[in-house]
């Protein structure tokens, strides 16, 4: 562990930890609409605005579509802009989510992951942000309130990196993390302020000496070229992510790899997870290791852009890997599983893979489920079908 900068340890929910990060960032504009389970971020931050702790222009919009529209306008004006949403809110802002990435707005948007209706459900799964995975945003998934707090800062720097200039979603699990009170280290205001610096936009609508046009029509003649640039920006993300992460770790002592490996070195079976499921799985790894079972865990943080090469390297020579998805791509491989399958393609010594789906609509992931997965993997049981955890196959 590296030395940590000055900080205080407090008890905060994921939402409040994110709101704290926003207070320290002090964005120029926040335009947001509350939606369960994200609401507490917006409520808490509104409090900061009203109590004069930040000088943010808080735009109280009438919908998420307007929230993202206001954010795009503010961001193109050249200033720091943030919002937050989830589920139906993300779905409603969909059109402008693509505009934000297409116009290269470095907006940071925390997401308290929640299921997509119908049936209506306020609880956690990843179907909201996974549905938006091809809209050109960077996506970082977080296990704890602490990780979410720290990654809001990383996201901001990454979004504004000259070679990137793309919006970022910082995802935490709705209720599970967003409403869970945990120990959180809040680093010194001045230290974090120094870390984020100021935004230096390449173009800005408010730069009156250099007038620009934003959002001009591009048809068959230029749209394709502009989209190719977005791909280039995404390809620049991994290096920038690691570079900024290195800098941030000097403050926090945390590591900011694309993923985190836990006891994988000699593991006979590995589970690959994202977000809060990792914590539960880690607890199981410890318990099974204590019984002499060689199991390990990989937590993926960066889902967009997807770090294929690094993941492939981590999985090379491993025997068997279970991939846990908290969302589905109906009629296709689940989002994370599909990417892992892509990552190992062409690998000489590739592991056997098994797709698991769990936790849709907030269904609890129990340690016994994870243990069951490890036992199946250790027994070498894989097939081409999705296995479901915690789903009733028969009435109980």
Q: Which residues bind another protein (CB under 8 A)?
A: 9-11, 102-104, 122-123, 165, 173, 175-177, 179-183, 202-203, 210-216, 218, 221-226, 228-229, 232-233, 276-280, 282-283, 364-367
Nearer to another protein, 140 or 176 (CB): 176
Crossing angle of helices 189-196 and 237-252, in 10° steps, is 160
Q: How far apart are CA 315 and CA 320, in angstroms?
A: 9
Q: Is residue 322 helix, strand or coil?
A: strand
Residue 11 C-beta: closest distance to another protein, Å: 5
Cβ proximity to another protein, 229 vs 313, nearer residue: 229
Kindly tell me which of 336 and 344 has the beta carbon lying closer to another protein.
336
User: Alpha-carbon distance 233 to 226, whole Å?
Assistant: 11
Q: Residues with Cβ < 8 Å from 259, sequence gap 6 or more?
A: 298, 299, 300, 301, 302, 307, 310, 311, 314
Neighbours of 304 (CB within 10 A): 23
Distance CA 29, CA 48 (A): 13
Least CB distance to another protein at residue 276 (A) = 5
Q: Between 46 and 182, whose beta carbon lies closer to another protein?
A: 182
DSSP-derived secondary structure letter, 305: S
Smallest distance, another protein to C-beta of residue 79, A:
16
The distance of closest approach from Cβ of residue 49 to another protein in the complex, given in angstroms and rounded to an integer, is 20
Query: Which two tokens mark 190?
Result: 């001045």
**How far from chain centre, in Å, is Cα 181?**
20
- Kindly state the tokens that stand for 133: 């995975």
Minimum CB distance to another protein smaller for 39 or for 329: 39
**Least CB distance to another protein at residue 343 (A):** 25
**What is the arrangement of strands in the sheet containing 320-325, beginning at the earlier edge strand?**
259-262, 295-300, 269-273, 320-325, 352-358, 387-389
**The two structure tokens encoding residue 229:** 């640039």
How many whole angstroms separate alpha carbon 252 and alpha carbon 233?
A: 27
| Nearer residue to another protein within complex by CB, 11 or 63 | 11
**Radius of gyration of the chain from Cα atoms?**
21
> Would you say 117 or 183 has its CB closer to another protein?
183
For another protein, the closer of residues 123 and 333 by Cβ is: 123
| Burial tier of 151 (Cβ tally within 10 Å: 0-12, 13-18, 19+) | buried
9 vs 347 by CB, closer to another protein: 9
User: Judged by CB, which is closer to another protein: 117, or 194?
Assistant: 117
Shortest reach from residue 229's CB to another protein, in Å = 5
Q: Which residue has the tokens 């967003």?
A: 178
Distance CA 232, CA 274 (A): 26
Closest CA to 352 of 273, 272, 263, 276: 272
What does 39-76 look like in DSSP terms, one character per residue?
HHHHHHHHHHHHTTS---EEEE-SSHHHHHHHHHHHHH
Minimum CB separation of residue 333 from another protein in Å reads: 25
Closest CB 104 distance from another protein, rounded Å? 4
Give min distance, CB of 212 to another protein, in A.
5
Closest CA to 319 of 371, 382, 270, 356: 270
């Amino acid at each position: 562990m590296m030395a940590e900068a000055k900080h205080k340890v407090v008890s905060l929910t994921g939402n409040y930890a994110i709101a704290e990060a926003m207070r320290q960032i002090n964005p120029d504009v926040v335009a947001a609409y509350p939606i369960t389970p994200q609401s507490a971020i917006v409520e808490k931050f509104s409090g900061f605005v009203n109590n004069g702790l930040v000088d943010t222009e808080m735009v109280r919009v009438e919908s998420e579509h307007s929230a993202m529209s206001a954010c795009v306008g503010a961001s193109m004006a050249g200033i720091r802009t943030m919002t937050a949403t989830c589920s139906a809110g993300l779905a409603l802002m969909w059109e402008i989510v693509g505009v934000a990435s297409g116009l290269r707005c470095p907006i940071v948007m925390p997401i308290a992951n929640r299921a997509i209706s119908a049936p209506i459900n306020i609880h956690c799964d990843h179907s909201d942000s996974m549905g938006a995975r091809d809209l050109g945003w960077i996506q970082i998934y977080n296990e704890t309130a602490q990780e979410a707090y720290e990654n809001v800062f990383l996201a901001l720097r990454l979004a504004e990196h000259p070679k990137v200039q793309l919006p970022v979603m910082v995802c935490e699990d709705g209720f599970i993390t967003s409403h869970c009170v945990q120990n959180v280290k809040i680093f010194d205001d001045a230290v974090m302020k120094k870390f984020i610096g100021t935004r230096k936009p390449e173009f800005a609508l408010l730069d009156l000496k250099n007038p620009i046009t934003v959002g001009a029509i591009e048809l068959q003649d230029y749209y394709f070229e502009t989209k190719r640039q977005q791909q280039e920006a995404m390809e620049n993300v991994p290096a920038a992510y690691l570079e900024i992460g290195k800098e941030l770790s000097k403050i926090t002592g945390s590591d900011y790899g694309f993923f985190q490996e836990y006891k994988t070195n000699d593991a006979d079976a590995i589970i690959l997870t994202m977000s809060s499921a990792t914590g539960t799985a880690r607890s199981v790894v410890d318990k099974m290791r204590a019984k002499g079972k060689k199991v390990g865990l990989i937590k993926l943080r960066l889902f967009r852009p997807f770090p294929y090469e690094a993941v492939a390297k981590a999985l090379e020579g491993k025997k068997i890997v279970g991939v846990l998805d908290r969302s589905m791509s109906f009629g296709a491989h689940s989002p994370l599983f599909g990417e892992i399958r892509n990552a190992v393609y062409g690998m000489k010594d590739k592991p056997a893979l098994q797709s698991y789906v769990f936790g849709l609509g907030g269904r609890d992931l129990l340690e016994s489920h994870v243990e069951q997965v490890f036992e199946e993997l250790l027994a070498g049981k894989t097939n081409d079908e999705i296995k479901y955890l915690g789903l009733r196959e028969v009435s109980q």
